[in-house]
Every structure is written in structure tokens, then in C-alpha cells.
Structure 1
Amino acid sequence: MAQAAEFLRKIATGIAGFDEASGGGFPAGRTSLVEGGTGCGKTVFMLQSLLKGPRARGEVCVFVAFEETPAQIQDNAQSFSWDPAALDPEGLIFIDAQPDLDLIRSGEFDIAGLLAILEHKAVRRGASIVVFDALDRLLQLAGDPRVCIREISRLQHWLRKHELTALISSKCGDAGDPVTSGLGTEQLQFMLDCVVTLDHRVCDGVSHRSLRIRKYRGSGFEENLIPFIIDRDGLEVASVVRAERDDETAASERISSGVPDLDTMLQGGFFRTSSVLLTGAPGTAKTTLCGAFANAACERGEKTVFISYDSQCEEIVRNLESVGIRLQPHIDSGVLAMVSMRAMQGSAESQLIAIRRLVEEHQARVLVADPLSALSKVGNTSLAPSVAERLIDWAKSRDITVMCTSLLEDSDDMAEATPLKISTIADSWLHLTYVVSAGERNRGLSIIKSRGTAHSNQVRELRLSAEGVALEEVYSAAGEVLMGTLRWERERKEAMAARESELHAERDRLRLIGEAAELEAQMAVMESRLAAKRQELESVRDNVAASAEEEQRRQRDTRDLRLNVKGSGGDKSHG
């Protein structure tokens, strides 16, 4: 809510949701009306506005009570976790202004006596704000609408004269009409500068509280109904302003889903600070995937809050151990906080506040809510979508990664709309379904969307075993994806065919090896015979050469002998 113009000064109440809706709180130096039926929280609202606002800043305040005694109001305040020092009588002045039931009126009604008391106890002590709790009870004594209007005007004039801020509470019916209609108190709505209406009703057995700023002169404001609750911290009003991160840079870090096969489909896992939605019918393993995600976060050393709306924490821990997910060590170490909450214990708004409180107390970086769709049970149907959306926005503003599940009554793949209507704002949406074929029911997982990720578009079979969670590779035959027994049978047939092919190939290999060995042996024999023939040939060549050489030598010797014989005969004849 944008801040009002500078000339309209406002007094912050310290109630964050209301200060956001009103643009800063109640108008300073003016008079505001807080109206509502029985048990709406008017007194708590105004008292808390004093203690968390002006009193927290050290200002003096006055509380004028027309229905309860100051002691009762102080005792009631002690039941909340407010700072007791804020109730110091030196800083918060209580005035018991309950009308005397035995009082007999003499003369015309006026509030001059009340103003004299305020002059003494408020103005002289430097008070900055005055609360008139149940002023309508005093004004009823006027008995005449004209007198009532006159005294309201007198009060406003006196407050403006002393530059005091005032809060007035008054009773009204469910339609916003004063219960004392006809006596002039209905004119409070028209005469005062700011009007806030509180409402408390029960829808289908569930209590719902809301407030609405009906009027705010000189300022813009949130005009719609705003849920609130009253708990140990007092009145807490839902934030109507979208939570924003201090650093708007989008995270690029990936964190594991706890299932390696799913991380592969997501190109490395989910983005940190993203919101993840799991949808599916009962029994499709939504809680199992939540457990795997929480386990992976705890193994990274990140504090995690796991909220279950359907089961006791001990049962979840036991069940997840059957698929190899062991959360008990993380609980024992304090990294994991598991809480079982029942959505029917209160309104969706009270559940949101409880979740935020748990996450802040645990200083968690990861939040798991299973199933968040439990918020939309009977009595919360209209408010649950807004609560879920604000939870995701709040988590993002604090860099918290959220995984939540939504239960779908219809297991049909086409029925993927979620009761909470948050599928459009979730960053990643995983849908779990049953695939029924050949008398068998198998789980299937598909990624409908994952912003910033070129994710797989396949429907993968989700298999749970003692070793953990696995996603089977897509197996198709004749244009149909097979799962379960059909897949196993087809894979078995193909495996047998592949084995037979391997055996046949092995037989061929051995046959060829034998034939090759036989040929190699034959080649060895032939090479041996060839070597022998070559050796024989060489021997023949040597013999021929030796014979030729011998013949040449013999012929040479014969020639030499003939020459010698002829020479010897010639010598003898000459002598």
C-alpha cells in the first residue's frame, strides 16, 4: 500500500498487516472508529495498537474503559506475549468509566465530566493518544439521537483542540449496523475520519476473523476483507502486500530433488528459492518424493521444516525407511523439524501464520508441506488459494525453497487442475499418476513445467524399492510406452533374444577359430614341405654345380696331362 501524502501524518500500530493495508496506521490527530460484534477482538486490537505502537516508542497513552475494569483488561493483556513494561501505569493510564447502574440521571446528558477527567489525566501528562473502549455504552445513556450526535461532536472538538489522536470502539451487527441503531451511535461511522470493521464468524465449523477498512479520509487503503487471527502474540493481520526480496536477482544455483534420475530430467535439479508443486491421486508417491527432497536438503546441511497434514511424523519416518530414505538421523541432529498439523484445527490463515512461525523459529532454508491442499477443506475453500499464494511469495522473499503437494481426487491425467489454484504460480510442476495396463497399476511421473529448464517431456515409470526411488528409462513398443509386468516381459524376451544372438555369435566365432587353426596347421605343413623342396632344390643345384666343376677340373687335368705327354716325347727325339 502506497504511503499517504506527507500532510497526513499517521501513527503506526505495530501490527504489520494493518499498517500495510492502511498505508501507515491510524491518522494522527484525528478520531478513528473500530467496530464489530461480540468477540471480534476490538479491545485486543486497540490495546495492542497502543502497546506495539505509541507505547513502544515511549509515548504516554490513555485507555478509557466503559465495559471492563482496568484490572480485567490488564489481566487479559498478560495472557499475550506482549512486553509487560508497556503496561507501566506511568506510560499507559487506565480510566475506569463504567456507568453506574444505580445512577439516576438528573438533567440533560453530557460528557463534560469525562472531558474534565481526561483534561487532568491525559492532557496534563502529555498523552498523545486516547482509546475509548465501548464508548457506545456511554452514549446509550443519552436516550436521544440528537444529544448523542451533539456529544460526539463535543468529543471530537475537544480532541482536536488538544491535538490528540483517538480510537473509539463500538458494537455493530453482522451487516455493520450499530446494535444501538436509532439512538444516534450509528452517526459515528459518518462523523469520524477512519472506520475499521472487525468480523468473526464460523463457516462449516471453522472460525474465521477478518477486518475491513470501510473509510479513511485523505488516504488510500486496502478496501477488501483482510483475514486475521488472535493467538499468543495477539492480533496478527494477513499481509496484503506481495513480499519482495531485498535482492531481486534470480538464483541460478541448482539443488537436488533427492532422486538422481529426476535431477537428470531437470538438467541438474530445481532452482534454489523456487516453488515446486507435486500433484497426484492418493498413493502416487507424493510424500515419498517430499521425503527424498527433504533428505537431500538435510544431507547438504540445510535446515528443513517438513509439515504433514495427513499423517503423524513417526509414521512418515517409518514409511520412508522402507524405500531407503532415513530421516530420523536428521531429526536427531536438529537439522530437520517435522510437525504434524491438522487443517481442521483452525482457519487457513491460522495455518499460514503457524507455518511462518515454525520456519522462522527453525531458521529453515527448505520447507515441505504435504499436502498443502488440506488447507482447502470444508470451511476454508474460499481462503485457501490466497493463503497458499501468500505462503509462496513469503518464502521467496526469504530465499526459502518450497515443495508442496496437492491431492487430486481424480487420477485422470487430464484432471491436473489443483484445488489451491497455485499451479500457475509454482515454478516447477510435477504430476504423478497411475498407469493401468494388463491388470496392473504402475506409477508414472511427468514434468508439466519447470521454468528456466529445458526439461524432459517423457512420462517415466516411478519405481520404489528398498534401494530407493528410481525412474525407469522410457520403453516403448509399437508406439506404446510399456510399464510394469508388460515392460518386464518385453525386456525379458529381448534379453533372451539378445542372449541367443550372443550364443550364436559365440558359436560362429569358435567355428571360425577352429577352421582358421586348421588352415594354419595345413599352411604350416605346406610351408614345411615347401622348405624341404627348396632345400632339395638347393641340394640338386649344389650337386649339379659340383659335377660341372668336377667335369671342368677333369677336363682341365686331362688337357694338362696331354700337354705334358707331348712335351716329353719331343725332347727324346731331339737328343
Structure 2
Amino acid sequence: MMDVKTKLIERARTGVPGLDDVLGGGLTTGHVFLLEGNPGTGKTTIALRFLLEGAAAAEQCLYITLSETEQELRNGAASHGWTVDGNIEVFELAPAESLLDADQQQTLLYSSDLELGETTSSLLREFERVKPGRVVLDSLSEIRLLAQSSLRYRRQILALKHYFSRHGTTVLLLDDRTTEASDKTTHSLVHGVIMLEELTPNYGAERRRLRVSKYRGQTFRGGYHDFVIRKGGVTVFPRLVASEHRTGFVRRQIKSGVPELDALLGGGIEQGSSTLILGPAGTGKSTFALQFLTAACQRGEKAAMFIFDEELGLLFERAKVMGFALEELRDAGLLHIEQLDAAELSPGEFAQRVRDRVDQAQAKTVLIDSLNGYRAAMPEENSLVLHIHELIQYLNRQGANTFLTVAQHGLVGDMKTPVDVTYLADTVILLRYFEASGKVRRAVSIIKKRTGRHEETIREFRINESGLRLGEPLDQFQGILRGVPTFVGGGPLLAKQAAGDGHS
């Protein structure tokens, strides 16, 4: 009796990175599963990986192909660096030659009636010869065409299901949905259904995602999960659920290395919190974030930068002028810098890259610059906020400090934010241009901090070869955030600072 229970919970791992996590460990052995998707979504690649995983575990495997030739199948496997041999048998189920000969075609009986029976018999004979533990049947569209009617098709699939189940075989049925796409007959018969989709945005590479729509008696990770097909096979990026990841750490204040900025922040930011830096283009959002990143590296901690908007060569040169030695920190192994192309990247893959740096490389400071570029990688804005929420919560629970920048539209006065995520961040740093004495100046203020107190003042700042410099609070002016301040104090404070020690 114990053996039976053990058999019921056994899983046949697919070998596809990320997919077994989505499936809760793999495919329940001894059952029939459906893998469906339009042509080009990766069904054959996943099926081959499934059999290779079985062969690696010394299982006998059988690939039955009705739609591709054996050579095409082997060529496809070779393109990923795989060799289909050993414990994997490939059976090319071609139509009988008599059915291709016009002189031999039946006149009183439909040839499909004979061909369906002959196809099934050939399939079962090959199964009995190989006695496999894993089978892939590619594809159901051919059987559906031979069956001619929905009733005959359902009976044929049901018969195959019972036959395979009696032998304890784990079966993956592939369906390209080229015929009767609305027919859900197979869905009701199989143990589980994995659906593959390909989305084509207006610009950029195609996006692929999958969803487990059914899995009897098994908890699985629901929703859509991004995946890619590259040399080496399919890689799935399971949807990030922050509540599943929690790590204990000691909360402490993190310093920026600029005393005036730390004073503005009430002493610094808290370990394991998120900081959003808002402002129009050119105000210095990246510079504020780099100040925290370099300070972390100087403490001997690891940091990671994910850059969407700026070319790395220009970033290195610009940062070097301000005293940030990014290349040296990267070469020392303290700073990971990655330039991303929003047109070629899915949100799921990006989240996985960030997780890898935090989980595997132990990065404690993460910069995403900017959310405007990240938004370009999203199919729709509603999903962006959800993805960012889960990613921020995950990083917070790992004790990492997250910095995000958002470029606002406009230069002075009222600003428009392309996506409002201020409520998600623990701390919000606001940067603004303002005009005074015929010059364009820049000001910084803290408009939100969940943990601890912070200054409610506005400070002017400058960026030069010495890096980031903040001045004293501008308490003798009002209307700075509107862009045109009014002097209400007892002396020209800005002029004094400009003529002073170089601090703004």
C-alpha cells in the first residue's frame, strides 16, 4: 500500500529551467498531459527536453511524430546542442504508401477510416516494442483530421489515455491548434494542460508566456509566466510572488557619504527599504543613486545596476568626471552593471535577473534606472505596477536597498509622471529645477519616508567634478518647487552660497 502512495506523488521532471517550479515539481507520473500552443511557441523544444531528462534518469523514452520527419526533429535538437539517441527512440509515423497512391485509394470507404486505424495500430506496436516510461505524441492535429468527427476523436484520445495509464507511462500530447482551435475535447480528458502563447508587440521581439490551466490533484503556480527560446532550449521565468520569500536581517541606517544628504534623510535610509528618485530629465537622478551605490561598495558590500536608458561607455565617462569609479568597482567584483534592451526583454526575465544578483551574488544595493525604460518592456501599464510591487517587496524582504528612478515630463512647474509608483516606495526623493538670479538651479526635497523622521526643508544641490554637493536648507525662499521662487528672507542666501565654498 505504501508503494502505491509513493507512486501517486512521484514527479517526472521536465528538465526545463523554471517549468518544474511552475508545475510544483514536474508532471505526475503515469498520467497524460496536454502541451498546446500555436506553431512556433516551443512545444517540440519542451517535449525534447522532457525526454532528454527522462533519458538522463535511465528511463526509456519514445517520441512519436506525425507532423515532422525524424530528420527535422533531430536537426531541431542539434540546434540546441542536443543529441537524440541512447534511451530515446524516434518513431516517424508516416502515411502508408498505398494511401498516397491515387490508384490504390478506396472508393467505397473513406481513406481516413483506414488510416486512423492503421495509425493507431502502428503507434501501439511501436509502444509495445520500446516499452517506454515517457512518451511524446506530436501532434494531435493529425489525429483530429483523421478522426473526421469530434466523437471519433474523443473516443480515440480516451482509448489512448486508458492504454497509456495501464502501463504507467507519462505522456505529453502536443497540439498546435491549427484545426478546431475552439475544441476543448482533450482538455477534459487529460490530467493537466500547459498552454503556450506568443505575443507580437508593435515594436521589438516577440514575447512568449505560458500558463497551467489545469492540473488535477496538484498545487501549481497560477497565472502567466514569461519564457524564452534560446540555444540550449526553453527557459521559464516563474512569476515572482514576494510573500514566498522572506529573509531575516538586521535593520540599520544606510549612509550616502554626503552629510547634507544624510541630514535631509533624517540620518540615512533604512536597510531593506526602497527609494524612488523623481525628477525631470537632467536633474541628477542617476547621480543620487550612484552616490548610494558607491558608498555601499566602499563599505565592502556588493551592488547591482540595471540600466535601461544610458549607454555604458557614456555612463562610465560621466561618472568618472564626478568621482565615481564604476569600472574599478566592477573589476573588483563589487559592482554588477548590466545594460538592458527594453525591446528584447520581458518583465519576467528582468525580475529573474535581479533575483539572481541578490540570491546568488548577494547584492545588497540594487539600482533600476529607469522605470521609464522598464515600462517600455511591459505590454500594458496596469501590469507594470504589479510587477514593480512584487519586485520591490521581494528585494525588501531580502534586506536589499532598492533605488528606482523615474523621469517626469516637463522642466518646471507641474510635472507629469508616466507611471505613479510613489505609493510603493518607502522613501521618495524629489528633484526640481528652479530659476533664480537669471540661472537655472536644482533643488532636492524628501516628500515621503515611511521609516523615521526626515527634514521637511528644500536644499539646493550641485553636481560637479567633486560629485554631489548639497547646500543649507533654503528657508528664506518659497515657491521653489513651482520653478520660480520668491525671496522672503533677510539676505540673498543663494548668492552667498554661490560665492562661498562651492556648495550649492
TM bin (shorter chain):
0.7 to 0.9
2:312 corresponds to which residue?
A: 313
2:108 corresponds to which residue?
A: none
Please tell me whether the aligned partners of residues 204 and 378 of structure 1 are also in contact (alpha carbons under 8 angstroms). no
Q: Which amino acid aligns with 2:376?
A: K
Once the two structures are superposed, the pairs formed by residues 488-507 of structure 1 within 5 Å of their partners are 490-491=492-493
1:112 corresponds to which residue?
A: 121
Specify whether residues 99 and 198 from structure 1 end up closer, same or farther in structure 2 by C-alpha distance, changes over 3 A only.
farther
Q: Which amino acid aligns with 2:216?
A: R
Please tell me whether the aligned partners of residues 277 and 404 of structure 1 are also in contact (alpha carbons under 8 angstroms). yes
1:329 corresponds to which residue?
A: 328
Specify whether residues 459 and 347 from structure 1 end up closer, same or farther in structure 2 by C-alpha distance, changes over 3 A only.
same
Q: Do structure 1's residue 135 and structure 2's residue 136 form an aligned pair? A: no
Task: Provide Cα deviations, 1:245-296, integer angstroms capped at 9, x if missing partner.
Answer: 8764353133322433222233442233333221211111011112222222
Stretch of structure 1 that moved more, 352-361 or 36-45? 352-361
Once the two structures are superposed, the pairs formed by residues 121-270 of structure 1 within 5 Å of their partners are 121=130, 123=131, 127-172=132-177, 179-181=178-180, 186-206=184-204, 207-243=206-242, 248-270=247-269
Q: Which amino acid aligns with 2:281?
A: P
State the alpha-carbon separation in 2 of the partners of residues 478 and 277 from structure 1. Answer: 25
Q: Do structure 1's residue 66 and structure 2's residue 66 form an aligned pair? A: yes
Which of 87, 93, 97 in structure 2 is aligned with 1:91?
87
Of structures 1 and 2, the one scoring higher in RCO (CA 8 A, sep 6+) is 2
SS in 2 for 1:476: coil
> Deviation at 1:118?
0.7
Specify whether residues 94 and 244 from structure 1 end up closer, same or farther in structure 2 by C-alpha distance, changes over 3 A only.
farther
State the alpha-carbon separation in 2 of the partners of residues 476 and 293 from structure 1. Answer: 26
Q: TM-score, normalised by structure 1?
A: 0.72
Higher Rg of the two aligned structures: 1
Once the two structures are superposed, the pairs formed by residues 548-559 of structure 1 within 5 Å of their partners are none
State the alpha-carbon separation in 1 of the partners of residues 84 and 38 from structure 2. Answer: 30
Once the two structures are superposed, the pairs formed by residues 336-415 of structure 1 within 5 Å of their partners are 336-356=335-355, 364-377=363-376, 380-382=379-381, 383-396=383-396, 398-410=398-410, 415=415
Q: Do structure 1's residue 38 and structure 2's residue 39 form an aligned pair? A: yes
Q: Which amino acid aligns with 2:226?
A: P
1:537 corresponds to which residue?
A: none
2:459 corresponds to which residue?
A: 460
Identity of aligned residues (%): 26
Please tell me whether the aligned partners of residues 279 and 418 of structure 1 are also in contact (alpha carbons under 8 angstroms). no
SS in 1 for 2:473: coil
SS in 2 for 1:425: coil
> Deviation at 1:484?
9.5
State the alpha-carbon separation in 1 of the partners of residues 58 and 256 from structure 2. Answer: 50
Once the two structures are superposed, the pairs formed by residues 6-17 of structure 1 within 5 Å of their partners are 10-15=11-16, 17=18
SS in 1 for 2:46: helix
Task: Provide Cα deviations, 1:469-493, integer angstroms capped at 9, x if missing partner.
Answer: 1221113237676999979971388
> Deviation at 1:162?
0.6
> Deviation at 1:158?
0.6
SS in 2 for 1:456: coil
Specify whether residues 200 and 101 from structure 1 end up closer, same or farther in structure 2 by C-alpha distance, changes over 3 A only.
farther
Please tell me whether the aligned partners of residues 204 and 379 of structure 1 are also in contact (alpha carbons under 8 angstroms). no
SS in 2 for 1:446: strand
State the alpha-carbon separation in 2 of the partners of residues 253 and 59 from structure 1. Answer: 53
Specify whether residues 423 and 94 from structure 1 end up closer, same or farther in structure 2 by C-alpha distance, changes over 3 A only.
farther
Please tell me whether the aligned partners of residues 67 and 137 of structure 1 are also in contact (alpha carbons under 8 angstroms). yes
Please tell me whether the aligned partners of residues 196 and 211 of structure 1 are also in contact (alpha carbons under 8 angstroms). yes
SS in 2 for 1:405: strand
> Deviation at 1:98?
4.2
Gaps of 5+ in 1: 173-178, 496-575
> Deviation at 1:299?
1.8
Gaps of 5+ in 2: 106-110, 498-504
Q: Which amino acid aligns with 1:119?
A: E
Q: Which amino acid aligns with 1:39?
A: G
Task: Provide Cα deviations, 1:70-115, integer angstroms capped at 9, x if missing partner.
Answer: 444344334447xx5xx56333333233446774476632202211
State the alpha-carbon separation in 1 of the partners of residues 397 and 60 from structure 2. Answer: 36
Please tell me whether the aligned partners of residues 431 and 448 of structure 1 are also in contact (alpha carbons under 8 angstroms). yes
Task: Provide Cα deviations, 1:485-533, integer angstroms capped at 9, x if missing partner.
Answer: 97997138889xxxxxxxxxxxxxxxxxxxxxxxxxxxxxxxxxxxxxx
Please tell me whether the aligned partners of residues 461 and 471 of structure 1 are also in contact (alpha carbons under 8 angstroms). yes
Please tell me whether the aligned partners of residues 348 and 376 of structure 1 are also in contact (alpha carbons under 8 angstroms). no
Stretch of structure 1 that moved more, 12-21 or 269-278? 12-21
